[in-house]
Structure 1
Amino acid sequence: MSDPELHGASLSCVGVVPLEGRGALPFVALHGEPLFLHAVRTLLATPSVRDVVVTADPDTVAEAEQELAAAQLPVEVLEAAGWWQAWDRSPSVPPRVALVDPLCPLVPCAFVARVLSEVTTDTAVAGYRPVTDTVKTVVDDQIVGTLDRDRLAVVASPVVVPGRLAGRGAPPVHDFALLADWLRERTELHLVRAPSMARRVGDESALRVLECLDELGRSVHEA
């Protein structure tokens, strides 16, 4: 997909896996294949997603293309700046965009499908995970308080951007926390609690924990 306006409003959703700003972590293997391929497969398996694209920084486009070709996944890789600028300039109303962060590699397809089935074309929505760590506030190197974890959330996947926001500036998809702020400034944002396997990994050690939890869950189901 080279320009969102080429795809008519009949499409219910365009799925995007944004690699930009995430360094090499999307290419680290999970269950034998790069993280971002899991996100691609999730979107390809979601019935209401009619087209899937991977966006990437210029220096990672070729590597992403090679991995997709090796996995025989028919998904185009486009430079992030060009794709989002085209979306933002589209004179017609594009379909909603469903983003799955490659660092949320095991978000269940059923959850993505449920979110998309429950929101309208004008609704912005984001999956989230509750904060479980204790969060302290610090002033001048001194701990001065503890934040209420019930009022905090970690943005996960999917994040759905309504097409009517095209023309309001390209969204900051390199950071889903910033993306949530961007959406709140322009429209109402609904948060939907995501299952535990939809958690975001910030480094390879967190990835290995997620991988072990997934393998444990599979072994329990198979027992």
Structure 2
Amino acid sequence: MMQCLILEDEQAAQELLKGYLEKTPFLNCVGIYESGLDVPNEQLKQTDILFLDIQLPELNGLSFLKTLTNPPLVIVTTAYPNYAIEAFEEAVMDYLVKPFSYERFYKSLARAQMLLSKEKKEKKNQIFLYADKTLYKTFIEDIIFLKAEVDYVNVVSAEREVLVLDSLKSWSEKLKPFNFLRIHRSHIINLDKIEKVSGNQVFIQSHELPIGRTYKNEFLDALKEIGHFQ
């Protein structure tokens, strides 16, 4: 369910949008306001899509948009087509000129749904590693392998190595939804990064990693399942 907020001062335009929202099962309205000065910050934080009129009392819609540090997706709804260039310079997602049909409205929402889905997927695939009083943003797909170092885990990616206070067992649980596998009591690897396997060694970039005897059958089964091994 996508959360939307309407910033529109014309009653007829409000009613049109409310009618379109009622036809759209994956959309929920968190509030309708006639001035940007009335919009609560908490509601704005919950908003995925902002339907924004340009001609508003007290504060122009685009001027209001410029005050937002982390705006939601914005769909401009206006009777004035001549603001389009300025609106897209503010990175609005779409520009609907009144009167617009439900078909045009739905097409815009379908695009918004796709963008939000992509954004959520990207957020899900990233983590922040804490070490030396610093947080390192890391995409899970960029991790090559992890190595146990006594009470720490060395998280190795192409960009850097980060030594975090944790256990390999804990990381094994965290990475279950992704294509990682424990191949040794001291190593978890990203199966997508494997370059070759020779004997009891896995080769990933410049790294040569051991395959533990008790982990080898599970490792070979995993390769067969993902098509890396015939």
TM-score (norm 1): 0.25
Structure possessing the higher relative contact order (Cα contacts under 8 Å, 6 or more residues apart): 1
TM-score (norm 2): 0.24
Normalized per residue, which structure has more strand?
A: 2
